[in-house]
């Protein structure tokens, strides 16, 4: 197969969408029906009232499954800007250079790939991505790209800051459920960390396809850095798709499947998708905080003793992850397969 046909960041300017990316009429994004998401609060993590932050996080997780934007989160504007810039540099490298990292194996710790699961899906998504394992940093960073030359340094610094933020949020989420701050940490074990650097090229017919179709994330929660100039993230709320407009210097946090299971369904793993546009490329950087592979996922007894029996059976995260990647991204919610 030609290199150009394996990825969409290939430098080719298409006048029409290739047929392998065209969704059936009933599965298209219906962009004219999407409205802006305006009601979810902006959560200021620099607020001195920690109990107020915890309350806001709990309300957002319960009502939406995500905090639309967090500010004063400890990740500097400079490092976020550098992260987006080096991502752009990577995806504008010559095709032959990028393709040295190409793989369709979802269990590889460093890989460039496209769409979501090209081995399983029947219609592809208008996205390329670079997937990296990020923790422990000293174990994985040596495998990362050496081109651009600043890639390892910038991405490494960003990962450290994101991890610190993630562990703080994990404690706050635990407390927002009325649990001890280290309760979720004890269930999930040593937190794993992955990253997906996403690149969505301009699309000739954005109304016919997705960057990513509707899905829920399989991890604990996701911290998303977005290009503030080009929006594309949409979330499902009360049966309607809402566009999340990025704020300067803000990060979006969304709940994943493992926190839905641990919270015994009190917090929802939000359905979200990425749409594309005809004019500009879009970059986003999704950092995934995950349980350890051997962690046994279950709801703590504090959440199951008041007439709320466990919704999901016990399982390991490794078992879940294997099941998730063995299916199509836009199939039924994977968590449904683990219900009691």
Please write the tens of the pLDDT for every residue from 79-132. 999 999 999 999 999 999 999 999 988 889 999 999 987 777 889 999 999 999
Report the pLDDT averaged over residues 188-199: 97
Instruction: Provide the pLDDT for residue 93.
Output: 97
Under the banding of pLDDT at 50, 70 and 90, the label for residue 329 is low
Q: Where are the domains of the chain?
A: 36-338
Contacts of 210 (CB under 8 A, 6+ apart): 23, 29, 125, 126, 273, 274, 275, 276
- Concatenating the DSSP letter of every residue in 60-108 gives HHHHTSEEEEEES-S--HHHHHHHHHHHHHHHTS-HHHHGGGB---TT-
Q: Which residue matches tokens 């610094």? A: 157
Cβ-based neighbour number of residue 95 at 10 Å: 15
> What's the rounded Cα separation, in Å, for the pair 169 and 235?
21
In 3D space, the residue among 223, 217, 200 whose CA is nearest the CA of residue 285 turns out to be 223
Q: Which CATH architecture has domain 36-338?
A: Sandwich (2.60)
Instruction: Provide the pLDDT for residue 67.
Output: 77
Please write the tens of the pLDDT for every residue from 276-320. 999 999 999 999 999 999 999 999 999 998 778 999 999 999 999
Q: Is the pLDDT of residue 1 over 60?
A: no
Report the pLDDT averaged over residues 76-81: 98
> What's the rounded Cα separation, in Å, for the pair 134 and 204?
34
Q: What is the DSSP letter of 18?
A: -
pTM: 0.95
- On the question of a cis peptide bond just before residue 148, with omega within 30 degrees of 0, the verdict is yes
Please write the tens of the pLDDT for every residue from 229-280. 899 999 998 999 999 988 889 999 999 999 999 999 999 998 999 999 999 9
For the four alpha carbons of 218, 221, 223 and 226, in that order, the dihedral sign comes to positive
């Amino acid at each position: 197969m030609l290199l150009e046909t394996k990825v969409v960041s290939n430098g080719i300017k298409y006048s029409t969408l290739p047929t392998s990316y065209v969704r059936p009429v009933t599965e298209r994004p219906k962009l004219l029906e999407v409205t802006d998401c305006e009601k979810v609060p902006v959560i200021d993590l620099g607020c001195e009232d920690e109990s107020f932050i915890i309350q806001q996080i709990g309300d957002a997780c319960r009502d939406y499954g995500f905090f639309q934007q967090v500010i004063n989160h400890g990740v500097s504007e400079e490092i976020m800007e550098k992260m987006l810039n080096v991502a752009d540099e990577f995806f504008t490298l010559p095709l032959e250079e990028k393709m040295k990292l190409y793989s369709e194996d979802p269990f590889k710790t460093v890989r460039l790939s496209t769409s979501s699961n090209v081995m399983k899906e029947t219609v592809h998504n208008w996205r390329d991505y670079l997937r990296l394992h990020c923790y422990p940093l000293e174990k994985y960073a040596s495998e990362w790209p050496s081109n651009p030359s600043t890639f390892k340094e910038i991405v490494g610094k960003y990962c450290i800051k994101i991890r610190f933020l993630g562990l703080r949020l994990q404690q706050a989420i635990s407390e927002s459920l009325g649990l001890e701050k280290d309760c979720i940490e004890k269930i999930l074990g040593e937190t794993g960390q992955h990253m997906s650097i996403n690149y969505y090229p301009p699309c000739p017919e954005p109304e016919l396809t997705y960057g990513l179709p509707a899905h829920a994330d399989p991890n604990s929660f996701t911290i998303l850095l977005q290009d503030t100039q080009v929006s594309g993230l949409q979330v499902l709320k009360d049966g309607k798709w809402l566009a999340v407009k990025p704020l300067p210097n803000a990060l979006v946090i969304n709940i994943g499947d493992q926190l839905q299971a641990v919270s015994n369904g009190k917090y929802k793993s939000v359905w979200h998708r990425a749409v594309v546009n005809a004019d500009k490329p879009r970059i986003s950087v999704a950092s995934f905080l995950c349980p350890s592979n051997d962690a046994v996922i279950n709801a703590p007894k504090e959440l199951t003793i008041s007439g709320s029996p466990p919704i999901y059976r016990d399982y390991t995260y490794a078992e879940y992850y294997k099941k998730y990647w063995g299916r199509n991204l836009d199939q039924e919610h994977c968590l449904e397969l683990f219900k009691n």
